Structure 1
Amino acid sequence: MKHVMNYKKPAFWVIIASVVTCIVVAVCFLTNPKDSDSKRIDPFGKYYKVRDIIYESGAYAFSYTTETTPKYYVTNEKELLVLEDKSSTSWLNAGTFEEVGLTKDNFDRYFRGVRGSASSLRSNNQKAWRLLVNDSPDTVFYYLLLQKNGDVYLTYGYYDASEKDDPASDDTSIRWVFSLIEDELN
Structure 2
Amino acid sequence: MRIKNVFNYKKPKFWIVLFSVIIVAAVGIGLATNHGSTASINGQSYRVKEIIYEAGMYSFTYAMDTAPQFSISSDYSLYSKQVTEEDWDQEGVLYPYEISRQELDTLFVPPSVSSNNFHKAIDQAKLIYRADKNDDIKTFYLVIQLRNGEVLLAVGYDNQDFRHIRWMFRLDKINDFHHETFAGNLNTVHM
State how far apart, in whole Å, the 1-side matches of 2:155 and 2:73 are: 18
Letter in 1 for 2:90: N
2:101, 2:123 within 8 Å by CA — same for their partners in 1? no
Q: Deviations over 1:151-177 (max 9, x none)?
A: 1000011111x34xxxxxxx1110111
Change (3 A) 1:69 1:135: closer
1:110, 1:172 within 8 Å by CA — same for their partners in 2? yes
The aligned counterpart of 2:23 is none
The aligned counterpart of 1:178 is 169
Number of equivalent positions = 148
The aligned counterpart of 1:109 is 106
Letter in 1 for 2:62: Y
Q: Which runs of 4+ in 1 moved over 4 A?
A: 116-119
The aligned counterpart of 1:80 is 78
The aligned counterpart of 1:142 is 141
Letter in 2 for 1:67: D
| TM-score normalized with structure 1 length | 0.68
Report the structure number with the largest CA radius of gyration: 1
Identical amino acids, percent of aligned pairs: 23
Q: Deviations over 1:21-63 (max 9, x none)?
A: xxxxxxx9xxx99x84752211110111000101111110000
1:96, 1:131 within 8 Å by CA — same for their partners in 2? yes
Change (3 A) 1:111 1:117: farther
State how far apart, in whole Å, the 2-side matches of 1:37 and 1:159 are: 37
**1:118 to partner: Cα distance:** 5.9
Letter in 1 for 2:147: K
Q: Deviations over 1:77-122 (max 9, x none)?
A: 11111112x35431101110110123135411000127x8565333
Letter in 2 for 1:148: R
* Larger RCO of the pair (alpha carbons < 8 Å, separation 6+): 2
State how far apart, in whole Å, the 2-side matches of 1:82 and 1:135 are: 15
Within the alignment, does 1:98 sit opposite 2:95 as a pair?
A: yes
1:124, 1:147 within 8 Å by CA — same for their partners in 2? yes
Letter in 2 for 1:60: Y
Letter in 2 for 1:59: M
State how far apart, in whole Å, the 1-side matches of 2:101 and 2:128 are: 14
The aligned counterpart of 1:127 is 127
Change (3 A) 1:122 1:87: closer
1:104, 1:119 within 8 Å by CA — same for their partners in 2? no
> Which sections of structure 1, spanning at least 5 residues, go unmatched?
1-10, 12-27, 164-170
1:103, 1:122 within 8 Å by CA — same for their partners in 2? no
Letter in 2 for 1:149: N
State how far apart, in whole Å, the 2-side matches of 1:37 and 1:102 are: 28
The aligned counterpart of 1:57 is 55
1:57, 1:175 within 8 Å by CA — same for their partners in 2? yes
> Which sections of structure 2, spanning at least 5 residues, go unmatched?
4-25, 182-191
The aligned counterpart of 1:22 is none
